[in-house]
Amino acid sequence: MLIAFQDRLRLPWRGGAKRISPAAVAPAFIVPLMLGLATLNSKTAVVLMLTLVGFTGWGMQVAKRTATRTNFFLSWVVFSVVYMIIIFEFQVPLLELSPEENYALMFFSCAALYCLYSTKALSSLNLVSAQYGTTPKDELPGIAEASSGEEQAEAQITLQMDSVLDVDEMVDDSSERVDLMHGQPNICESCRKVTPRRAYHCPICGTCVKRRDHHSYWLNCCIGERNYVWYICGLILSEIALLLGANLTLTSICHPFMVVRPLGYPVLLPDDCSEVFESFELGISFVVACYALLISGYIAFILARQAYLWWKGSTLHEYKRSTHAAGRGNRIWSLWRAIIK
Ligand SMILES: [Zn+2]
Ligand SMILES: [Zn+2]
C-alpha cells in the first residue's frame, strides 16, 4: 500500500507543478484524525493507540522488506511534533503552568528538533564518495574483475556468508563486504568499488555508508559516522521534551499529587485522570500526553539499545551481522529482530 501511495500527485507551484508523494501527505490527516477519535472515550483511545503501534510497525516491516525509500515516517514525525505543540500551546490550560515551565519545554523541543534536523542534514557526509581510494586501481569494476587473488577469495567468502542469511537479511546485507582479513580492503559488490573499513552498504540509500549504524526510517536517512552524535543528542533531548510535556499536561488536566520538593520546587505526578474525557479540550490534551508517553517509551528503548551497543563497541549493523555469523539463537534473534528493526 505504501509503495502504491508512493506514486504521483502534483501541486500547482510557481515555475511548474511540484510533484508530491501521497505517502508524505497522508500523516497530516491520519495523525489528527486518530488523536481526535481517541478523545471519544478511554476504550477508543486504547484501541487507537494499539492500532497506531500495529500500523506503524507493519508499515515499517513492509518498507524494510521492499527496501523502499519513503518520506511517510519522516512526515509522521513532523506532523506529530506540529500537532503536539499546537495542542500543548492552545489546549492545555496554560494558566496552571508557569512561564518557566513552558519556556523549558520549548527549549528542549527546539534543541531536539535542531539535533534531529542536523542528523538528517549531515547524513549525506556519511556516504562513501565515488572518489574513495587513492589510485584508479581502487575503483574496481566488479568482483568478477577483482585484480588480485586475495580480493577474489574475499569476495567468494563473503558471497558464501550471504548464502546462509535469511531472506530478510539478504535485502539488508546482500551486497556488503566484511573486513575478514585484517588490512585488506572492503569491496562493495553493489557499488563496485573499494570502501573504507566499517563502511557498509545501505540498500535503501543505494550506496555505502561510513560506519553505518542503521537506516532510520523515521528520519529517512542513514545513521553513520558524521551524524551519529547528533542522532543520540536528538533522541535524548526528544525524550526529555516528551516526558516534560506529558507531565506538565497530565498534572494540569488531572488531579496532581506532589512526589518530592527538591530546592523548594514541587515535582508533581498525575493522580486521578477519570474526568478527562468529559470535554474535548481535556480529552485531546490527555490523548496527546499519552501519545507523547508512547513515543518516549519507544525512544527510551532505542537509547537503551544504543547504550548497550556503545558498551559493546559495535554499531547496530555490525552487531546484527556478528550475531548472524555466529549463528546464535536464530529463533530468538529472528523474533528480536522483528521487534527492533
Ligand atoms: Zn555499496
Ligand atoms: Zn540508508
Cα 224 to ligand 1 centroid, rounded to whole Å:
14
Q: How far is the CA of 192 from the centre of ligand 1 (A)?
A: 7
pLDDT at 241 over 90: yes
Closest ligand to C-alpha of residue 200 is: 1
Whether the Cβ atoms of residue 47 and residue 39 lie closer than 8 Å to each other: no
CA gap 75, 189 in Å, rounded: 32
79-136 pLDDT, tens per residue? 999 999 988 888 776 557 788 888 999 999 999 999 999 999 999 998 887 545 444 4
- Tell me which ligand sits closest to the C-alpha of residue 143: 1
Looking at the CA of 202, name the nearest ligand. 2
Q: Rounded to the nearest whole angstrom, what is the distance from the C-alpha of residue 23 to the centroid of ligand 2?
A: 18
Mean pLDDT of 178-184: 48
Is residue 42 scored above 50 in pLDDT? yes
For residue 109, report the distance from its CA to the centre of ligand 2, in Å.
26
The residues whose Cβ lies within 5 A of ligand 2, an ion, are 202, 204-205, 215, 222
Q: What is the residue whose three cell numbers read 557526509?
A: 125
Looking at per-residue pLDDT, the higher value among 57 and 179 belongs to 57
pLDDT digit string, tens, across residues 210-232: 999 999 999 999 999 999 999 99
| Ligand nearest the Cα atom of residue 174 | 1
Mean pLDDT of 159-183: 41
Gap from CA of 252 to ligand 2 centroid (Å): 41
> Which ligand has the shortest distance to the CA of 222?
2
* Nearest ligand for residue 120 CA: 2
Distance from Cα 214 to the centre of ligand 2, integer Å? 7
The string of pLDDT tens digits covering residues 61-83 is 998 888 888 889 999 999 999 99
Residue 224 CA: which ligand is closest?
A: 2
Q: How close is the Cα of 308 to the center of ligand 2, in Å?
A: 22
Q: What is the pLDDT of residue 144?
A: 39
- The rounded Å distance from CA 123 to ligand 2 centre is 9
Q: In angstroms, what is the span from residue 43 Cα to ligand 2's centroid?
A: 38
Q: Which ligand is nearest to the CA of 190?
A: 1
In terms of DSSP H, where are the helices of 19-71? 22-37, 42-65
Instruction: Summarize pLDDT for 319-341 with one digit per residue, the tens.
Output: 888 877 776 555 555 656 655 55
Task: Say if residues 162 and 172 touch (Cβ distance below 8 Å).
Answer: no
Give residue 44 CA to ligand 2 midpoint distance, Å: 36
Cβ-proximal residues to 211 (8 Å cutoff; 6+ apart), any chain: 126, 198, 199, 224, 225, 228, 315
Task: Tell me the per-residue pLDDT of 265-281, one tens digit each, with 9 for 90 and over.
Answer: 777 778 778 777 888 88
Percentage of the residues of the chain whose pLDDT score is greater than 90: 36
Residue type, 85: I
How far apart are alpha carbons 304 and 247 in whole angstroms?
22
